[in-house]
Amino acid sequence: MRDFGRFGAPDADPESDALALLVECGFHGDPASRTVAQDQCARFLRAAGTLDDVAIAQQLPGWVQPDAPRQWALDVTGPVVARSEDFRFAQPFTGLEVIEQAGTVIGWNDGEPVTTPYDDCVLVMPSTRQAKPGVTVVRYARRRLL
């Protein structure tokens, strides 16, 4: 487990007023991730009452992007963990693919098929870059319209 101070501590006080927020902005190497991060920061500052729209426009020009036509939440339901370095995906998934049918083979874990557990399964952060025993290579999620 990584040490995130009191946020990750198993003995953290549940009555504490400490809060944490994680916003996934995209692939680290994608320049569009910076745009998403800036947009989210500006929206957070507005929602927190730290800056109003005029101040954001003056101090953070271009940070707020147009609203998305619709928004989805992803409820992660579980991981696929590599049994060894011999994990292979069936195709070059990049993330957020929606696999229509349950039981679709998405890869092989030590030669055994890995299949989607339910219809409209979303693949979250698929990667074999660090595949070795015990490492999560993809997560399954369900989409929920907000």
- Report residue 10 CA to chain centroid gap: 23
What are the tens digits of pLDDT across the range 33-62? 999 999 999 999 999 999 999 999 999 999
| Beta carbons of 132 and 85 less than 8 angstroms apart | yes
Residue 4, CA distances (Å) to 10, 46, 79, 133 in order: 11, 26, 21, 24
What's the Cα-to-Cα distance from 89 to each of 16, 45, 101, 127, rounded to whole Å?
Answer: 42, 40, 17, 9
DSSP-derived 3-state class of residue 31: helix
Radius of gyration of the chain (CA): 19
SS3 category, 83: coil
Domains of the chain by residue range = 5-59, 72-145
- pLDDT above 70 covers a percentage of the chain that reads 90
Assigned CATH for 72-145: 2.40.50.630
Query: What's the pLDDT score for residue 3?
Result: 46
Residue 21 scores a pLDDT above 80: no
Residue 59: helix, strand or coil by DSSP? helix
